[in-house]
Structure 1
């Protein structure tokens, strides 16, 4: 196993453990942070990105997101030959990270009765279901993410500071653009855990809302590609 594959796998697993971990803590019953709210979720996701990146930064570029890897391949920062292995590592890491969330919160899953709440600890979903609007939300959120990452890559920012800046970026996107779809902005973050939702034995879990599942995959990829094209005009 290459260092890059291990880094993307482990980093994405940590991202999901901490990111969906905060969602589980807020949403599932009888936790200490039950009903803590959207601010806590967005802050938790932002910190999850920073912690995961710091943990594996010596192994890989810590993309932790197929949309980011696509953007880096399109811009020449990642060889296309490595793109597939990065995406595979990210999806496997997301699935493994979600298993850890389930194990961590299993007593709370056992008493949870709302299928929508349970699914929300695995994957994203729309506040109001409108495929066009939901797709635009995911495109815009990922566009902001990738365009900023590309711009930061050419700025003279110390490595540790840039990682914290990305954490702030994730929080900002969540606060400003995340209220419509839950801001997946990452195909692996959504599809990997959604697959685990179908597999893991959880009472009252309902279905995985598979009719929506293409939006948090296609939207981020389109948003990333658009950001690369726009950045090329700089």
Structure 2
């Protein structure tokens, strides 16, 4: 008789929330890229300054992730919507082994779904901006692009750790990530496209069927997450502990994570 005990340990509602949340992030976020930069749309004429359009794109892209975090989807799953973020929480002992796999698979499927919807809705305008792909900037060596992605992801994950380890700051995590990622997009997009997220990169690469240099966006963000874990442990020296693996923790939503130090409903 087949033992299905492992199947019962899976948390399908949370995986589904991650899938939908990531799909929303990729579709709406990359729609901002299309709207602000595709030729034939009005933004290039309305706002000729590319730097200002980059900042607006960053605010819209990261704002989508923050809205997902405070939505019912995010309150349930934690709104990681990024394999690097989930990896960081797992390395910190906040996720079960079966859940890290479920989250990462859901995030990649969500990103692919969001990218397919982007192509369907925007058509030639999406193609005009390479379907929102993250690509190395012209003139930058790959080692520099790789280092930029590692550094920016490390800063993002470390900032999340700092906020969710403070009872005073944790409720402001979505606002912090909104502003931080917006600034990163504004400053770093000319270098690497500011991916910070392997799923966000693979979705557009899949629908474009263009894989040149995409290995970089699969490897650099996880390295950044690992670096953030090391820095957090070094800086905190055991004095600070991550309270929750949710970016917006609400006590009456169930929580499937390990070692949660704030009020929550347990899974079951």
Please state which band the TM-score falls in when normalised by the shorter chain.
0.7 to 0.9
1:19-98 matched pairs, under 5 angstroms? 19-34=29-44, 36=47, 37-55=53-71, 56-98=73-115
Tell me, yes or no, if the aligned pair for 2:66 and 2:175 is still in contact at 8 Å. Answer: yes
Tell me, yes or no, if the aligned pair for 1:6 and 1:59 is still in contact at 8 Å. Answer: no
Query: Which one is further off, 62-71 or 94-103?
Result: 94-103
1:128-147 matched pairs, under 5 angstroms? 128-147=139-158
Deviation, structure 1 residue 27: 2.2
Alignment length, in residue pairs?
217
Q: Are the structure 2 counterparts of residues 175 and 29 from structure 1 closer, same or farther at C-alpha, using a change threshold of 3 Å?
A: closer
Deviation, structure 1 residue 158: 6.4
Deviation, structure 1 residue 220: 0.3
Structure 1 segments of 4 or more deviating over 6 A?
none
Deviation, structure 1 residue 159: 5.9
Cα distance in 2, alignment partners of residues 189 and 91 from structure 1:
8
Q: 2:221 maps to which residue?
A: 220
Tell me, yes or no, if the aligned pair for 1:18 and 1:48 is still in contact at 8 Å. Answer: yes
List gaps (5 residues or longer) in structure 1.
Answer: 199-207
List gaps (5 residues or longer) in structure 2.
Answer: 1-10, 48-52, 237-268
Cα distance in 2, alignment partners of residues 186 and 22 from structure 1:
17
Q: 2:207 maps to which residue?
A: 196
Higher radius of gyration, 1 or 2? 2
Q: Could you say what secondary structure the match of 2:196 adopts?
A: coil
Q: Could you say what secondary structure the match of 1:59 adopts?
A: helix
Say what the alpha-carbon RMSD is for the aligned residues. 1.8
Q: Could you say what secondary structure the match of 2:190 adopts?
A: coil
Cα distance in 1, alignment partners of residues 98 and 142 from structure 2:
33
Q: Could you say what secondary structure the match of 2:213 adopts?
A: coil
Cα distance in 2, alignment partners of residues 57 and 159 from structure 1:
14
Partner of residue 176 from structure 2, selected from 134, 148, 165: 165
